[in-house]
Amino acid sequence: MTANTQANESGLCAEFHIDRRSLAPWVRVIYIDDDIKLNFSRRLLNKRVRYNKSEKTILIKDIELSAEDLR
């Protein structure tokens, strides 16, 4: 049985298109400086990561770090 036949029998189209807007929350935010590198999911902004543009500060809360993370 081909993939197209299986898709049609299950009521799915064998071909589908992804709406990029649905992927937006999964985009990663990456910041690299001489002293620090931040890499987190955009969906964490305003939840666990708060950025204050006017004060140029970032607050990260509820983090769990292992000994390896601190190296």
Task: Return the pLDDT at 5.
Answer: 64
Q: pLDDT digit of tens for each residue in the chain (71 aa)?
A: 665 666 566 666 656 677 777 776 678 888 888 888 888 888 888 888 888 889 988 898 988 878 887 77
Cα–Cα distance between 62 and 48 in angstroms, integer? 7
Q: Which domain holds residue 18?
A: 3-70
- The total of structural domains in the chain comes to 1
Task: Return the pLDDT at 12.
Answer: 63
Nearest Cα neighbor of 25 from 10, 7, 4, 47 is: 47
Instruction: Annotate the chain with DSSP letters as a single string.
Output: --HHHHHHHTT--SS----HHHHGGG-EEEEE-SS-EEEEEGGGBTTTEEEETTTTEEEE-S----TGGG-
Task: Return the pLDDT at 59.
Answer: 92
Predicted TM-score of the model (pTM): 0.45
